[in-house]
Structure 1
Amino acid sequence: MTVTMDLNADLGESFGPWRMGDDESLLGIVTSANLACGFHAGDPQTMIRTAAMARDAGVSIGAHISYADLRGFGRRPMPVTHDELHADVVYQLGAALGVTASVAVELTHAKPHGALYNVIATDRNQARTVARAIASVRPGLPVYGLAGSVFLDEARAAGLVPVPEAFADRAYETDGTLRPRSLVGAVLTDPDEIAARVVRLARRGEILAHEGSPIALAARTVCVHGETAHATAIARAIRSALEAAGVDLRAIEH
């Protein structure tokens, strides 16, 4: 049986004259891109430019939604009300839909970012708010979330298509959660090590925890963070290793 995997990256995170990541190179490697919507990174011109590059590269485009935390790059949990979070998600999806329409492509998915992503992995109330907000704008949209998280349950209940995700360049704890960035070893940097982890994930449905034990993990997409050092080398090593292992790389169908 052919194994398929989507390879995604968080892109469009530059802001004005300040540049983050090598989006153009990554778009030649990945199969889908998560487009920053201005709340943790990005700006209108960056969004349009990145969406156009993704279109030309044949890469699917999703909305990368976040807490309103530009200064903290969306990596700080924010004390938001239900109504605030609902409105923030709707606003960001609206921006992404306008940008993709302007370059004549369809928005294919949504993915929470940073602290929001981690909070809704276990906080059912916020997970339900995010899922229902997305469904109110685009019913049936595929949404990426941490494999095994409550967000994927709430997405399914809201009529969305849950897509379990794993992270190529992040360490895992034994309970399947991501190792906090404040701890040593949370971010992986060796392209060959990372590529081997992703092949194991795709072929065996497991990934090694930080302390070395295997964790069962069923994922349909795997993420490379576009802002990390050597992101392009990491993504290229992953793609090459997956192809050599007979894994079919393709974007999530919607």
Structure 2
Amino acid sequence: MRARLLFLLLISVITIVVAGCGGGGADSNTTGILSAAPSATAVAAGKSLTVTATYTHPTNSAPSGVPITFSDASGIFASTTAYTGPDGKATALLNATNVILADQTVTIVASTGGLRATCDVTVKADKLNVVAAGDEASFTDANTPQNTSVRFVSSGDFITLADGDGLPLANRTVTIKVHTIVNAGDGTGTVLYWQGLPVDLSSPPATITATTDSAGNIAPQYSVDMPIPNTKSSNVIAVVFEAQYGNIITRKSALYTATRN
């Protein structure tokens, strides 16, 4: 009988010791408080920021090992999971995709068990800018031969590429297309060509690819040939420049006018 009592006592002691060892895990993460804070409220596309979630448990002052999932519904940031340390904090490095077309605000969700916390971050898209300047020329009827053409040569026209922080994006390939809209008084067309660059003229619009310099700029040198009207009137050509970088497309137009007075 005495041996049986000693055996039961030994089993009880072992049970108490095992129950007292937490195994490194935290208490239930379905209760408590969860908060989330980003390292910055805005980030340029293609760059990263950190988001820190803090989990506070009502009875566990050191809730280590609680899994925190970070995600956003838009998919701009890829989902990831981090685990809390003894201070209840879990930090994730999130990378913003660089294929967005415009700035947008993203709600990042940190979640664990039945708890959720959110924080908003603005993701700033790359900026592609096109500057196009038109020109005009005027000729008097007395000193201008019939069927004369005037050539407009660009100067100071730039395509500028920068990231969401305004920093230049160097050595990036930009595709440039040109559309022309002609309203020539004598019914003739126009010729637009790029100087010193290969051009696909097999079908309109004419296209080239060029690479940005260290300042994120491209200076596309082009010329426009247009006939001067045979009568007192104006020929007008609208040139639409279309620049594309990735999924970002920007268009600007310029007018070129030849007038016979």
Fold match (TM-score > 0.5): no
Give the number of the structure with larger relative contact order, counting CA–CA contacts within 8 Å between residues 6 or more apart.
1
Q: Hey, which of these two has a bigger chunk of helix by percent?
A: 1
Which category of TM-score, normalised to the shorter sequence, fits these structures? under 0.3
Taking structure 1 as the reference length, the TM-score comes to 0.22
Q: Hey, which of these two has a bigger chunk of strand by percent?
A: 2
Structure whose alpha-carbon radius of gyration is higher? 2
